[in-house]
Amino acid sequence: GQTWQRRIASLSGHLTGALSNAFSTPESATAQGIVVGAEVQRALRTGAAVVALESTIISHGMPFPQNLETARAVESVIREQGAVPATIAILDGVPHIGLTDDQLHSLASQAGRVRKTSRRDLAYVMARRLHGATTVSATMLLAARAGIRIFVTGGIGGVHRGAESTMDVSADLTELGRTPVAVVCAGAKSILDIPRTLEYLETQGVSVAAYGTNEFPAFFTRRSGCRAPMRIDTPEEGAALIQAALQLNLDNGIVIGVPVPEAAASAGERVERATQQALAEAGKRGLAGAAVTPFLLQRIRELTGGASLDTNIALIKHNAAIGSKIAIALAAAAH
Ligand code: PSU
Ligand code: MN
């Protein structure tokens, strides 16, 4: 009740002034220069459920026009559940939380002009007034600045296979260790080293729960062979976990892994084979850094004749429904 509301008020303290002045204008910038859309502002002010969404999945994770259709569909799922979607991206150097349909359209259709933006890239993209599609790490950071507690995506980055020599560990994992946002996802892809990803999250102090199962999900498939350290079975249990973390002022994130729906998981085997081939090709091409994940996603899509894309779309919509329910349970618990 009371305590929780005070926590939210103080967490988004620097924002409150900007938000309360915003009645007359459709959008206004916070002290940090973040533009929060009118619908999201209203929801935050009234304590309604808000769900953050990333934009790298739009610009670098899927081809046009499926990326735009999916971005719109995911926002619709969130609204149908009774929550407010807040897609996050950087437009002309300005971080935006909550996009108009025109803004979504230009992100999706001009992906070549949009830079993949993790925490590392944020200041540069702002300083150069570029368009930036935020990854999980940058989306978490901006969501937290606005006082948004829940973020839905497809999959998180992780420890890459071979990381013992390349040191390719996604900035998503360190962000989860330092930013208090719960990320609802379908786990981590098998392009990654899932056991090491879980080890790294443990080191970073990140709570990792599987939703309705004991096993951490592996994105395209329901099973990874790795037991999740925690399990939750209902949106209320998810909300209670987030609330307890806030109560203790824990400053790390939470991962809630929701397995892909049974009906959409059938392509799993084919996708797994394609993954092996794509990994080998990435190795031969000597790809490194931020280019690795987009290459693998695109190659797997080609090799599976688009089957991986269908699964990807199905699971993110499912995650959006579950994430919204958790956000609504959290908002209810706070009142
Ligand atoms: N995993 C997916 N789809 C994606 C990504 C990851 O299944 O689109 C994106 C997310 O934005 C994630 C980022 O934060 O890739 C991780 O990139 P990297 O591995 O370079 O850290
Ligand atoms: Mn990387």
Q: What is the pLDDT of residues 121-179, one digit of tens each?
A: 999 999 999 999 999 999 999 999 999 999 999 999 999 999 999 999 999 999 999 99
pLDDT band of residue 16 (cuts 50, 70, 90) is very low
**78-124 confidence digits (pLDDT tens):** 999 999 999 999 999 999 999 999 999 999 999 999 999 999 999 99
Tell me, in angstroms, the distance from the centre of ligand 1 to residue 135's CA. 6
Q: Please give the number of the atom of ligand 1 that sits closest to the Cα of 134.
A: 11
ipTM summary value: 0.98
- What are the tokens at 323? 């994430």
Which residues are found with C-beta within 5 Å of the ion, ligand 2? 168
Check if 121 has its Cβ closer than 6 Å to any atom of ligand 1: no
Residue 15, pLDDT > 70, answer: no
Tell me, in angstroms, the distance from the centre of ligand 2 to residue 118's CA. 10
Positions marked active-site: 54, 189
CA 16 – CA 13 distance, rounded (Å): 5
Predicted confidence at residue 104, as pLDDT, reads 97
